Chains A and B, each alone.
Chain A
């Protein structure tokens, strides 16, 4: 079946602009995660959704970052007033029920802020 998809695959934006990154999880997966992968770094947890609610936003690095999930499916990560340090690959993963279940990762969105 279809895996996790993310769009766009690449995004180049100017410093100060807002960007939206989209994640389509596997159908039926209630848990959804966003991560950031910077060059030479591991994955940095950003936010976790269970259904439409986000019980753990502890990884969002600043108030410029926000995310929502609608209909228990698609999620959007929004970065306002982008900075060069926001340049990274943003990964989305979904899991059947969260907790310690296996996460299925999307291919990521490579964001470059110029």
Chain B
């Protein structure tokens, strides 16, 4: 069955430090992959998505992610974190084969130290 795993529940980084959030997926074919951010009191916002082609994708707010088929991973990165990046980040895959269903990971909560 398709699944998405975000191994890190919480991550704390200092402002200005680099960031990498991990995402691993289980999917039979080449997946459509997404990263969303949920800021406190806000709805989820799409950061970036991967469908095909270049495995390094650029998103909004200075984020990027790299699709690695051999590792079934789609890790999110940012070279220099800002205090406003404190939020919860969700990786998702979908729609899954034969359905319209999207599968989300359990999220990684990012804390940024001043």
Using a CB–CB cutoff of 8 Å, the interface residues on chain A facing chain B are: 3-4, 33, 35, 40-45, 48, 50, 55-56, 58-59, 91, 93, 98-100, 102-108
Asked whether, in the complex, the Cβ of B43 is within 8 Å of the Cβ of A56, the reply is no
Contacts A40-B106, A99-B95, A102-B49; A45 near B101 (Cβ below 8 A): yes
- Which chain B residue lies CB-closest to A31? B100
Asked whether, in the complex, the Cβ of B101 is within 8 Å of the Cβ of A48, the reply is yes
B84 within 8 A of A: no
Q: Report B-chain residues with C-beta under 8 Å of the C-beta of A48.
A: 100-101
Could you say which of B32, B43, B92, B103 contacts A106, with CB atoms under 8 Å apart? Answer: B43
Contacts A42-B107, A43-B90; A56 near B44 (Cβ below 8 A): no
Pick from B6, B36, B49, B100 the residue with the most CB of A within 10 Å: B100
Q: Report B-chain residues with C-beta under 8 Å of the C-beta of A106.
A: 43
Additional 20 contacts, C-beta under 8 A, given A33-B100, A91-B43, A102-B49: A3-B43, A4-B43, A40-B106, A42-B105, A43-B104, A44-B104, A56-B100, A56-B101, A58-B101, A59-B101, A93-B44, A98-B100, A100-B32, A100-B95, A103-B44, A103-B46, A105-B36, A105-B44, A105-B45, A107-B42
| A38-B36 Cα distance, complex, nearest whole Å | 17
- Which chain B residue lies CB-closest to A4? B43
Interface residues of B in 14-45 (CB under 8 A from A): 32, 36, 41-45
| A56-B103 Cα distance, complex, nearest whole Å | 14
Pick from B43, B49, B94, B102 the residue with the most CB of A within 10 Å: B43
Q: Report A-chain residues with C-beta under 8 Å of the C-beta of B44.
A: 43, 91, 93, 103, 105
| A59-B46 Cα distance, complex, nearest whole Å | 22
Asked whether, in the complex, the Cβ of A108 is within 8 Å of the Cβ of B107, the reply is no
| A42-B104 Cα distance, complex, nearest whole Å | 6
Asked whether, in the complex, the Cβ of A41 is within 8 Å of the Cβ of B45, the reply is no
Q: Report A-chain residues with C-beta under 8 Å of the C-beta of B104.
A: 35, 42-45
- Which chain B residue lies CB-closest to A45? B101
B76 within 8 A of A: no
